[in-house]
Chains A and B, each alone.
Chain A
Amino acid sequence: MKLSELKVGEEAVVKAVVGENKTIKRKLRDMGIIKGEKIKVEKIAPLGDPIEITIKGYKLSLRKNEAQMIEVEGI
Chain B
Amino acid sequence: MKCRVAFAGNPNVGKTTLINAIAGANLKVGNWPGVTVEKKEADLVTKDMTLKLIDLPGTYSLSPYSIEEKIAREYLLEEKPDIVIDVVDSTNLQRNLYLTVQLMELEIPIVMALNIWDDFKEKGYRFDIEKFYELTGVRAIPTIATKGVGKEELLMMIQELCKTKEKPKMPKYSTVTEEFITRAMELIPSDFPYPKRWTAIKILEGEKDIIDKFPEPNRCMDLHEEFEKVFNDDAEGVIAEERYTYIASLIKQTLKSTEKRKKDLTDILDSIFLNRFLGIPIFIFMMYIVFKFTFDGSGPFIDWTDGFINGFIGKWTSAMLSGAPEWLQSLVIDGIIGGVGLVLTFVPLMFFLYFFLALLEESGYMARAAFVMDRAMRSIGLHGKSFIPLIIGFGCNVPSIYATRALENERDRKLTALLVPFMSCGARLPIYALFTAVFFKENQAGIVLLMYLIGIAVAIVVGLILKKTVFKGEVPPFVMELPPYRFPTGKMLWKSIASRTGAFVKKAGTVIAATMVLLWVVINIPYGAKPQDTILGKAAVAIAPVFKPAGFDDWRPVAALIPGTIAKEAVIGALGQVYDVQEEAEGEDKATTFNEDIKEQITGFFIAVKDSIRAMFTSIVPGVFEIETEKTPLQKKIKESFTPLSAFSYMVFCLLWIPCIVTLGAIYQEFGWKMVGGAIALTTITPYIVSTLIYQIGLLLGF
List residues of chain A with CB under 8 Å of any chain B CB: 16-17, 21-32, 34-35, 37, 42-50, 52, 56-63, 66
Contacts and interface: CB of A to CB of B under 8 A. Distances in A.
A23 B237 contact: no
Most A C-beta atoms less than 10 A away, residue of B63, B65, B371, B384: B371
Given A57-B94, A66-B479, A23 B276 contact: no
Nearest to A35: B241
Given A46-B277, A60-B481, A31 B95 contact: yes
A48 B371 CA distance: 10
Contacts of A58: 92, 95, 481
14 contacts: A26-B61, A30-B98, A47-B280, A47-B372, A48-B375, A50-B371, A50-B374, A50-B384, A52-B371, A57-B94, A59-B481, A59-B482, A61-B478, A62-B477
Given A32-B95, A56-B94, A62-B479, A27 B277 contact: no
Given A17-B237, A25-B234, A46 B65 contact: no
A45 B241 contact: no
B241 A49 contact: no
Contacts, number: 115
- Residues of B contacting A: mostly: helix
A32 B479 CA distance: 11
A51 to B, nearest CB: 9
Nearest to A22: B236
Interface of B: 60-61, 63, 65, 92, 94-95, 98, 233-234, 236-237, 240-241, 244, 266, 270, 274-277, 279-280, 367, 371-372, 374-376, 378, 384, 474, 477-482
Contact of A45 (B61, B63, B371, B481): B371
Contacts of B275: 46
A53 B371 CA distance: 12
Contact of A46 (B95, B236, B279, B367): B279
A14 to B, nearest CB: 10
Contacts of B266: 59
A contact face: mostly helix, strand, loop, or mixed: mixed
Nearest to A55: B95
Contact of B479 (A24, A42, A45, A56): A24
Contacts of B280: 46-47
A23 B279 CA distance: 31
A50 B274 CA distance: 11
A7 to B, nearest CB: 13
Given A45-B375, A50-B375, A62-B478, A26 B63 contact: yes
A47 B384 CA distance: 12
B372 A46 contact: yes
A45 B94 contact: no
Given A34-B241, A63-B477, A45 B60 contact: no
Given A26-B236, A34-B240, A43-B274, A61 B60 contact: no
